[in-house]
Chain A
Amino acid sequence: MALLQISEPGQSPNPHARRLAVGIDLGTTHSLVAAVRNGVAECLPDAQGRVILPSVVRYLDAQRRQIGYDALAQQTSDPGNTIASVKRLMGRGLADIAHAERLPYSLVATPGMVKVRTIAGEKSPVEVSAEILATLRFRAEDSFNDDVYGAVITVPAYFDDAQRQATKDAAQLAGLNVLRLINEPTAAAIAYGLDNASEGVYAVYDLGGGTFDISILRLSVGVFEVLATGGDSALGGDDYDRALADWIVAQTPLQVSSQEDQAQLLAAARACKEALSDSEIAPVELDLSVGRIDLSVNRSEFEAATAILTARTVQAVRRVLRDSGMGKDDIQGVVMVGGSTRMPHIRTVVGEFFGQTPLTNLNPDEVVALGAAIQANQLAGNASANDLLLLDVIPLSLGLETMGGLVERIVPRNQTIPTAMAQDFTTYQDGQTALALHVVQGERDLVADCRSLARFELRGIPPMVAGAARIRVTFTVDADGLLSVAAREQVSGVEAKIEVKPSYGLSDAQIADMLQSSFSTAEADMRARSVVEARVDAQRMLLATQSALDADGDLLQGAERQAIDAAMDALRAVAPSDDAAAIEAHNKTLAQATEAFAAQRMNRGIAQALSGKNIAAL
């Protein structure tokens, strides 16, 4: 019998309102949604009982689209309008994309992020991803007959700031409240760790359709601590398909150039690769416009054709192991994640490297979504028992351009997040009144070799001699791994801040536009929904505030208390109305009125936690 869950006082203001929180694995080749039901995480199937949603979107005309298996089925007949592997384009400019000319669809170079040219117009990778996310959201809402309160979306650990921001934008566009972005290997570790009640240091080797991650984690009771992470955000099963396709063509005298032929050849290579996971030899039979291919491929030929790719993953493993300060002997288990780890030679190579048989007892396709669902359930406040804490790291160093095109590193890679680090800079010329700041991410010393994230200016510095100004630049990375940068001249107090968004991500205005012309929900639905959501938020805020006042009301002075009481009364008065904007505005006012109170409560909480420890230690 399932036990009823009762939340801790203050944890969930309303124990009867169990919030539907989902974990979504937004993958290169396929995506999944999972949720915790009766205390157990499970992947949610579609109406036909399939849990996997191929990450493929086909645009039929300006209005209609197919998503998933239906789109996949048309990939070879309508390659130009059928967008697969869109994850590889997220947060990327045209110049960043390897083999762009070999994609079966056409890319458009646009400032910031690349776009795809389709029959429905130019589509941003964010919009295409949002179609996939919305499909999964509706699947979850149908499964539970409830609205999704929030979602944890997984991203490759090695995703940089632009790629993470693009993912978060896509979720927002799909109408999802993002509780957290978490790293795929970390999500897998949650699913594994909780399943096997493991303690010790683990390596997670995650080779997906388009990305490769390797993470070293230390698991102790309730804590998942990432020691180091690395990988390649453009290396995955797709590349194995392409390498095999090249090898196949090289065995024939044919020249393959058309999009249809390319798409067919890639699909055949992929089928051949998958067949080789179960058998020693697999046939390839293809009728292309330029001629017929009929041959067979054995495992050792496939391994030789892709050896360079496998070697790249092992090189990353070696580096991450060194970054983590661990030796091979310290690794208690190696977890294999991602469909591409089904390839037998990958398992062999990884097993040989670590000197142990990798763990494969959970489905490598599902494990990431399951871990994300467990975390989502907790973040939504549903689970107060077996609490787990994730301490993740930033995968790539962050820095600023300095004189001569060199990078001054401010946040080194593998720093636990959230984090804030600052560095002081000064002016180069006498009387200089402005400073151009160029934020970059990457491990190389030259700006040209790193990813440019944003540029902004600090203006209004009082004229001083060169070197006299003290400009403190602070990089703050939040728990999602997203960066914001602030600069402040210490003498004059002149300030400039930036969310690192405009150069590669979408501006809030762009997102608002996309939402306006949105696909997923009719406008009337949206309006009704936003009223309901605003009311629920208001109710939640009122309950949370009341329980905070009951617990720690003694922290407040008379005037502060009166301000909060007044804001609560005002919100209560407006909550029953149909005016979503007014409810939201009053909710915001209450949030602002309680901000200082929240800070004081936290301070008290921390102080209590610490003094509790000291007493226990005596």
Chain B
Amino acid sequence: MNLQTDDFVLFGLTPQFTQESVAIDAQWKRLQAQAHPDKFAAQGAAAQRVAMQWSVRINEAYRRLKDPLTRAAYLCELHGQPINAHSNTAMPGSFLVQQIEWREALDESHTLAELEALMASVQATKKVLLHACAQALDVQHDFAAAVLPVRCLMFIDKFAHDLNQRLDALE
């Protein structure tokens, strides 16, 4: 066990897409209870620094495991299928068309009800893609096949973020 140990081993979890959110939370708190700098506050600067490194590492793993999108991307990467979001930008036409429609809808939506309806549609698409990830990663163990839904999910997350900012601005 060291700082380079992979997230699943660190958290004592089976390396698969399907995870219990409460189990991840519980393990995170257990690990932080061992490693947090507060536990070493009276033990000098060296202990503080090491605790800080571990605590940071545990938070990093927690963030990645907790969000299904980053968890899926991480699994692809562990199995030699990196997502390469920056260099690989080819997307299916139908998905791009939907993105454009959403962007237009976002520009034309002004009321809370309109924005919330758009959000519901985004969430529904997200659910379908997450299911596709689960199938590819946990059932077929075809990690290359999970790359496309993961990249689509990244687009969706970005859009959901912009949508949330509009919701913020409304208040």
Contacts and interface: CB of A to CB of B under 8 A. Distances in A.
B55 A479 contact: yes
A544 B44 contact: yes
Given A479-B38, A544-B43, A606-B54, A318 B171 contact: yes
Given A379-B42, A420-B60, A602-B50, A319 B168 contact: yes
B29 A389 contact: yes
A385 interface: no
Interface in A185-202: none
B90 interface: no
A378 B38 CA distance: 9
Interface residues of B, number: 38
A609 interface: yes
Contact of B56 (A150, A389, A420): A420
Nearest to A599: B50
Interface in A495-531: none
Given A179-B41, A610-B12, 11 more contacts: A315-B171, A380-B42, A381-B41, A478-B52, A479-B36, A479-B52, A541-B44, A598-B47, A605-B34, A610-B31, A613-B27
B59 A591 contact: no
B35 A418 contact: no
11 contacts: A180-B41, A318-B171, A379-B38, A379-B41, A416-B63, A418-B37, A418-B52, A418-B55, A476-B56, A544-B43, A602-B54
Interface of B: 1-2, 10, 12, 27, 29-39, 41-47, 49-52, 54-56, 59-60, 62-63, 164, 167-168, 171
Contacts of A416: 59, 62-63
Contacts of A599: 46, 50
A603 interface: yes
| Size category of the binding interface on chain A | 35 or more
A594 B46 contact: yes
A379 B56 CA distance: 19
Contacts of A610: 1, 10, 12, 31
Interface in A379-410: 379-381, 387, 389-391
Contacts of B49: 595
Contacts of B27: 613
Contacts of A315: 171
A380 B56 contact: no
A616 to B, nearest CB: 10
B115 to A, nearest CB: 13
Interface in A73-117: none
B2 A603 contact: yes
A602 B52 contact: no
A180 B38 contact: yes
A55 B36 CA distance: 33
A617 B11 CA distance: 13
A147 to B, nearest CB: 15
Contact of A606 (B34, B37, B171): B34
A245 B155 CA distance: 51
Contacts of B37: 418, 478-479
Lowest 5 CB-CB distances: which A-B pairs, in order? A607-B1, A381-B42, A379-B41, A609-B34, A595-B46
A547 to B, nearest CB: 10
Interface string A566-594: 00000000000000000000000001101
A150 B42 CA distance: 9
Contacts of B43: 381, 544
A614 interface: yes
A12 B41 CA distance: 11
A293 interface: no
Nearest to A380: B42
A225 interface: yes
Interface in A151-207: 179-180
